[in-house]
Amino acid sequence: MDDLALAAELVRDAGELAARMLREGLTVRHKTSVSDVVSAADHAAEDLVVARLHEERPDDGIVGEEGTSEKGSGRTWFVDPVDGTYNFLSGVPLWCSAIALDDQLGAIYHQAAGELWTGGPEFPTTRNGEQLPRPADRPLDEVSIATYLHPTTLPDETLREPLLRVVGGAATVRMLGSGSIELAYVAAGRLGASLQSNSLPWDWLPGAALVRGAGGAAEVVEVGGHRWHIAGGRTVVAQIAELLAG
């Protein structure tokens, strides 16, 4: 099985396992805040992916949101077993399972919608096996932008002010609660752009690969000591980077 097919199978199996466990009932604990939660499904889905990677790609490294950290011979898989856990546990059907192989390819499974996304810079992005058309390359004032800023970080002007400069120029703003779904939607043209600060690799790499595979841009720029992760058409990504810099 090639890497892209393996990634697709892993996220589908992880997502179906998590959905089944949710239906059957879950134990939940909080990590850093009331909104930062983790369930037994997160751990079980990550364990499933890790065990399969041990079998199929024993020489590769693995990094998972729920604690897996294994060095390999050069390649690394990044695993988010349930992206959008707060949504997942709240009955909001905007959560997914996501995986990336470095920045080479990504796969995202949105179980509630039955949508399996795969792609990367060298792999045209597909949804359920059908190649996506190239998204329209439109300016910021003509598109929706997905973003998020945690309430505890609102007083931090080094985050708040650059973000306000950007969203003030967008047609509208959406907050979905799952970074990987946002990026898949950008790849599909459902959203015009995504902007997140200080994303972790499992939140960024799977979806960024899809955006690049669809012909869009996915860039990371540093402004005010923060890493800003920007995805969308090339025009809007350049505009956002300029606005962030002030």
Report whether pLDDT(23) > 70.
yes
74/88 Cα distance (integer angstroms): 33
Q: Are residues 163 and 121 in the same domain?
A: no
Structural domain ending residue among the three candidates 109, 131, 153? 131
What pLDDT is attached to residue 26? 72
- Residue 181: give its domain's CATH number: 3.40.190.80
Mean pLDDT score, 179-204: 97
User: Which of 91, 233, 57, 89 minimizes the C-alpha distance to 79?
Assistant: 57
Q: Are residues 77 and 144 in the same domain?
A: no
97/237 Cα distance (integer angstroms): 26
178/117 Cα distance (integer angstroms): 15
Q: Are residues 8 and 124 in the same domain?
A: yes
Q: Are residues 150 and 60 in the same domain?
A: no
> Is 219 in contact with 210 (CB distance < 8 Å)?
no
147/165 Cα distance (integer angstroms): 13
Q: Are residues 16 and 125 in the same domain?
A: yes
Q: Are strands 193-197 and 144-147 parallel, antiparallel or unpaired?
A: parallel
Taking each helix axis from N to C end, the angle separating 3-24 and 40-56, rounded to the nearest 10 degrees, works out to 150
Structural domain ending residue among the three candidates 131, 159, 185? 131
Mean pLDDT score, 37-60: 93
Structural domain ending residue among the three candidates 67, 102, 131? 131
| Count of the separate structural domains present in the chain | 2
Question: What sign results for the dihedral spanned by CA atoms 238, 243, 245, 246?
Answer: positive
Length of the chain: 246
What pLDDT is attached to residue 25? 82
On the 0-12 / 13-18 / 19+ scale of CB atoms within 10 A, 165 is: middle
Q: Are residues 150 and 83 in the same domain?
A: no
Q: Are residues 76 and 100 in the same domain?
A: yes
Find the domain containing 231 and state its range.
140-245
Q: Are residues 146 and 85 in the same domain?
A: no
Name, in order, each residue with C-beta under 8 angstroms of 11's C-beta and a sequence gap of 6 or more.
Answer: 49, 96, 97, 98, 99, 107, 108, 109, 116
Q: Are residues 116 and 153 in the same domain?
A: no
> Is 11 in contact with 109 (CB distance < 8 Å)?
yes
Q: Are residues 102 and 220 in the same domain?
A: no
pLDDT band at 77 (very low <50, low <70, confident <90, very high): very high
Q: Are residues 60 and 120 in the same domain?
A: yes
Q: Are residues 16 and 118 in the same domain?
A: yes
pLDDT band at 37 (very low <50, low <70, confident <90, very high): low
What pLDDT is attached to residue 170? 97
